[in-house]
Structure 1
Amino acid sequence: MKHVFIIGSKGIPAKYGGFETFVDELTKRKVNGDITYHVSCMGENNEEFYYNNARCFNVKVPNAGSAKAVLYDILSIQECIKYIKDNKLSNCIVYILACRIGPFFSKYRKELNRLGAKVWVNPDGHEWKRSKWNYWIRQYWKVSERLMVKHANLLVCDSKGIETYIKDDYSNYSPKTTFIAYGADVTVSPLNDNDEKILNWFKKHELTSKEYYLIVGRFVPENNYELVIREFMKSKSKKDLVIISNIEKNEFYSQLLQNTKFDQDKRIKFVGTVYDQDLLKKIRELAYGYFHGHEVGGTNPSLLEALASTKVNLLLDVVFNKEVGSNGALYFSKGSGNLASLIDNTDQMTSATVEELGIKARKRILDEYSWDKIVSEYEAQFTM
């Protein structure tokens, strides 16, 4: 029996973001009966429970502000070590999602290796580039990433671009890497086009099927909202630009409004968040096009969801996005007028061209990013 301990997500059942969804899908779709999963969950107690036939163990973490996630990972890895010792397990894998505990990592990796366990790390994206962190936190992230790359037994990269970066920037450590992508849900929304939910949502926001472009994602500067909004305002499009994101108490929103005066363009609509996943999928399916301006990190879950559901996808031309979208998307640069021109041309596409793009986009997901494929690759790697 191979025991795989997964730490670094907030836990399952998934209520949060990409790592939580990954762990949920990995455990739910498990095929290999020789694997037992142990999942760390951030909780209010230290109890155990089972979900998707995985042993889940809560880790209660003191509120340590921005250091809470670091402390959570440390307490989780300590709990893994204790469990392996108490149960005399061997040949285990401890899989750490993200590079938060670099300064403390070598000590725990050595202890786990002495117990016969291997320690894997998913380096995630370029967390040290994210604008939400101040200078000192970004410096910590970079140092932490370096130390975890240096000491990991294996680095599992969910993007070929990230794998190349790890191999090039840390070549002096000769890191051992493998590529396994993030996955996507390839099912269609159970709602039909005339479902009351979608019709009410359209009515509330004065929208019409196939007459809007869409953005879904975290409302942060590195996702290039300002670029997309400025270029959309320059375009001649008669369609709307719908932005689904949490903008409450967001300083960036006020700054963006001041810089662009987007409130003077009635096509641009901030509509808040949509937590109903069936409704969100239907909103994606009925959009004319999707904008993806992310430039930090590896394989982005919202991009995979867009390619699976929306026929026309316009992506910022960076290596991570091109790796995923390939020939199933259109690409824009940061040059003034580039995206505005692409929007105008996209509005004039024939229905046949739109359909062809949609088929290529969905094929990218079915061929390379389906959860069943991803889970199969993980199980093969875990049992090698």
Structure 2
Amino acid sequence: MSRNFTHLYLGVLKARNWKSKEKRMRRSVAIIGTRGYPSYYGGFETAVRHLAPYLARNGWDVTVYGRAGAVRLDDPTREKLVTSRNTPGLETKSLSTMSHGLTATVDAIVRKHDVALIMNVANGFWLPLLWIRGIPSVVNVDGIEWDRQKWGRVAKNVFKAGAAFTARFATRLVYDAIAISERWERDFHRGGDFIPYGGTTAASVDPEDGLLKRQYVLLVARFVPENTVPQFLKAVEPVAR
């Protein structure tokens, strides 16, 4: 993950010069909305796996909220300065994120963190709790979940409502794509910070037998409509000409 990615997040968290409410030297951040640290499931988890240690090494007390059984605390690369904390929730497709988000938010309020970094607008419903307690929130909105075909009508409405709460109560928003920021500007009249995901550069390796260097394409993606795999396959040949 590029240093620029983590440095930009650090800049957002420091932008308002939020001061610690407790008598402690280091500012504290609660990261809410992922499966925990370190976890290897998806994009948010990958981002937090790089971001949490970076913040901890740059003077922050970092607590990453997660779910029991979803992290590898024995990972030898785990940064010991990062606190991993699990809270209960309902393990169902439709309620898992929101229920864990609620219990994590309540715990973060009790522990009086200085700022909360929230992943996923489904947790937007709990932002008023942070707002009432005076805890600033930075929300990575991810994609336009209410447009995704994987969700039914009720789930889409829940995501749209969560986005509306996010637009109303979040202190700052983070977008990982310009198109997403433009959509939020249009639908919710909220600007934010554009922070694209970085990546690690792998060592150069020789291709497997039957492949020629720089003459093949690798696609790594879940086969869901939003990843436009058929369109990608159709585009490969004309783009390569």
Show the counterpart of 2:143.
125
Show the counterpart of 1:150.
168
* Pick aligned residue for 1:94 from 105, 111, 116: 116
Q: Give the fraction of aligned pairs with identical amino acids, expressed as a percent.
A: 25
Alignment pair present for 1:25 and 2:53: no
Q: Deviations over 1:234-265 (max 9, x none)?
A: xxxxxxxxxxxxxxxxxxxxxxxxxxxxxxxx
CA RMSD in angstroms, aligned pairs only: 2.7
Contact 1:49 1:56 in 2 (8 A): no
Structure number having the greater strand percentage: 1
CA distance in 2, matches of 1:127, 1:17: 15
CA distance in 2, matches of 1:80, 1:26: 18
One-letter code aligned to 2:63: H
Query: Deviating runs (4+, > 6 A) in structure 1?
Result: none
- 1:164-183 equivalences under 5 Å are 164-171=182-189, 175=190, 177-183=192-198
Describe the SS at the equivalent of 1:168. Answer: helix
Show the counterpart of 2:159.
141
Alignment pair present for 1:162 and 2:166: no
* Pick aligned residue for 2:104 from 64, 76, 83: 76
Paired residues in the alignment total: 210
- 1:104-119 equivalences under 5 Å are 104-106=126-128, 108-113=129-134, 117-119=135-137
Q: Evaluate the alpha carbon distance shift between residue 224 and residue 180 of structure 1 in structure 2; reply closer, same or farther with a 3 A threshold.
A: closer
Show the counterpart of 1:321.
none
Contact 2:64 2:85 in 1 (8 A): yes
Q: Post-superposition shift, 1:157?
A: 1.8
* Pick aligned residue for 2:225 from 221, 224, 231: 221
Gaps of 5+ in 1: 232-338, 348-384
Q: Post-superposition shift, 1:214?
A: 2.4
* Structure ID, larger Rg: 1
CA distance in 2, matches of 1:6, 1:96: 6
Show the counterpart of 1:184.
199
Q: Post-superposition shift, 1:188?
A: 2.1
Structure number having the greater helix percentage: 1
Contact 1:42 1:58 in 2 (8 A): yes
Gaps of 5+ in 2: 1-25
Q: Evaluate the alpha carbon distance shift between residue 345 and residue 111 of structure 1 in structure 2; reply closer, same or farther with a 3 A threshold.
A: closer
CA distance in 2, matches of 1:123, 1:151: 13
Q: Post-superposition shift, 1:98?
A: 0.9
Alignment pair present for 1:208 and 2:195: no
Contact 1:4 1:35 in 2 (8 A): yes
Show the counterpart of 1:11.
36
Q: Evaluate the alpha carbon distance shift between residue 345 and residue 76 of structure 1 in structure 2; reply closer, same or farther with a 3 A threshold.
A: closer
CA distance in 1, matches of 2:36, 2:196: 20
Q: Post-superposition shift, 1:44?
A: 4.4
Q: Post-superposition shift, 1:95?
A: 0.9
Q: Deviations over 1:6-54 (max 9, x none)?
A: 0111112131111111111112334754312111121149xx9994111
CA distance in 2, matches of 1:73, 1:226: 35
